[in-house]
Amino acid sequence: MDLKQLISKNANKIQPDVISSFNSQVAGIKDLIPLTLGEPDFNTPEHIKEAAVQAIRRNESHYTDPQGIPELREAATSYVHDKYGLDYDPKTEVLATAGVSEALLCTFLAIIDPGDEVIIPTPGFPVYEGSVTVPGGKPVFIDTSDNGFKLDPNKLKQVLDEHGDSVKALVLNYPSNPTGVTYNEAELRALADVIKDYDVLVISDEIYSELTYDHNHFSFARLLPDQTITYNGLSKSHAMTGWRVGLVFAKPAILSEIFKMHMFASFSITTNAQYAAVEALNNGRNDAQPMKKVYEERRDLVASGLKAVGLDSPKPEGAFYIFASLPESYKNDSMKFCIDLANEAHVGVVPGVGFGPGGENSFRISYAASTESLKEAVKRIQEFVKNHE
Ligand SMILES: Cc1ncc(COP(=O)(O)O)c(C=O)c1O
């Protein structure tokens, strides 16, 4: 029997995501400096770990309220209120998920009928394309590479008009993975001015909000609260990727449907992680600050090191990625560049082509690694580029 025949057409359409597959491809190379994953190199702050330990000792080891324990929902809504001026009801407008990853898939399962379209600005985080495709949705990419990797409101309007009623949602992710660019309030207002006239949802993935360097993060839901679904979590702000805590905020009519999907996907998230998250959101509100300072220094170190050998990038204003252009000799072949760099210089970076249209002439370097490793990696990249002029 050909077991492949039993797999759904939608599942068959999806390719494994380039970040993990490229990471596995190069992981075995001796002395490799891996700058592939979006994984903070900091440890989770002690007070947060302690809260989880205490929860385990109290035998908090059962299923919880599937929406999240009430303390977590209170802590989450109060956190986004105080930090970003958002008003969500802890009873009906927030849900705790196993990372933003689960929240995204549950959202698309809840909103997409086969054939519905979702606008995804690219280069973008590959999970959006996969999660839209699972329920039969069609990604509509807008290449932003000719506009400093930012979505241009006029182009958005044009695509919305061309695609009409088939468009269900638009993805916004800022600060962005992979480009590190973000939007300021005026730029978001210009986008909102367009979106307000269309019946579309905004999937606003703000997981890197605490890692915004030059100005305060501005949440899109402040502009279009009814249409916006806001995603945040503790993975990046509190160096808690492995705890799997994501948060999704939306109006009750939408949140209740995402919640239904979550009940099938994971029911409730890990109990001790929820108590850890309560501690992080209530008493660790500025935990990201010292990390951000270090990331900023590393960003400058990497960006200037790359620029010195002609590898330009848009100014990385947030997250912990630089999306740098390829050297002339590798023009538009980011896969070959990354394979050669890994084999010859022993530095792992991700080919831009894996982030969708507009990424083929770039590579993503994650600077969430030790300063020592980054210095050595920059030196190796510089030598590699000089050897391939
Ligand atoms: C833009 C973006 N959204 C969502 C996620 C998923 O995060 P989580 O750990 O909360 O599932 C990531 C992780 O790298 C990301 O970069």
- 311 and 177 in one domain? no
- 160 and 279 in one domain? yes
- Band of the pLDDT at 20, cuts 50, 70, 90? confident
Q: Which residue's CA lies nearest to atom 4 of ligand 1?
A: 100
Give the residue, out of 44, 100, 217, 266, with the most ligand 1 atoms within 8 A of its beta carbon, to mutate for a pocket test. 100
Q: What is the pTM of this model?
A: 0.97
- 135 and 188 in one domain? yes
- Band of the pLDDT at 38, cuts 50, 70, 90? confident
What confidence tens digit (pLDDT) does each residue in 66-92 have? 999 999 999 999 999 999 999 999 999
Pairing outcome for strands 350-351 and 347-348: unpaired
Average pLDDT over residues 245-261: 98
Inter-CA distances, 270 with 77, 246, 265, Å: 19, 11, 13
pLDDT for residue 152: 98
- 86 and 30 in one domain? no
- 138 and 107 in one domain? yes
pLDDT for residue 16: 82
pLDDT for residue 338: 97
What confidence tens digit (pLDDT) does each residue in 178-234 have? 999 999 999 999 999 999 999 999 999 999 999 999 899 999 999 999 999 999 999
Inter-CA distances, 78 with 16, 83, 84, 230, Å: 37, 8, 10, 14
Contact 389, 346 (CB under 8 A): no
- 183 and 67 in one domain? yes
Average pLDDT over residues 166-186: 97
- 278 and 349 in one domain? no
Q: Is the pLDDT of residue 389 over 90?
A: no
- 209 and 225 in one domain? yes
Cα–ligand 1 centroid distance for 58 (angstroms): 30
320 lines ligand 1 (CB under 6 A): no
**Percentage of the chain exceeding pLDDT 70:** 100
The neighbour count for residue 60, using CB atoms within 10 Å, is 16
Average pLDDT, the chain: 96
Q: Which of 264, 283, 302 is the last residue of a domain?
A: 283
User: What total of structural domains would you count in the chain?
Assistant: 2
Ligand 1 atom, smallest distance to 103 CA: 11
pLDDT for residue 340: 96
Q: What is the CATH number of the domain that holds 71?
A: 3.40.640.10
- Band of the pLDDT at 315, cuts 50, 70, 90? confident
Please write down the long-range contacts of 383-387, taking CB distance under 8 Å and 24 or more positions apart: 383/345, 384/340, 384/341, 384/344, 384/345, 384/347, 385/309, 385/310, 385/311, 385/327, 386/309, 387/344
- 69 and 23 in one domain? no
What confidence tens digit (pLDDT) does each residue in 362-382 have? 999 999 999 999 999 999 999
Range of the domain at 134: 46-283
Q: Which of 283, 311, 341 is the last residue of a domain?
A: 283
Distance in angstroms (rounded) separating the CA atoms of residues 363 and 319? 16
- 153 and 52 in one domain? yes
- 301 and 268 in one domain? no
Q: Is the pLDDT of residue 17 over 90?
A: no
Find the range with the poorest average confidence among 6-15, 255-264, 295-304. Answer: 6-15
Average pLDDT over residues 258-281: 98
pLDDT for residue 133: 96
pLDDT for residue 132: 97
Q: Which of 283, 309, 333 is the last residue of a domain?
A: 283
pLDDT for residue 18: 83
- 268 and 182 in one domain? yes
Q: What is the CATH number of the domain that holds 305?
A: 3.90.1150.10
pLDDT for residue 249: 98
pLDDT for residue 19: 84
230 lines ligand 1 (CB under 6 A): no
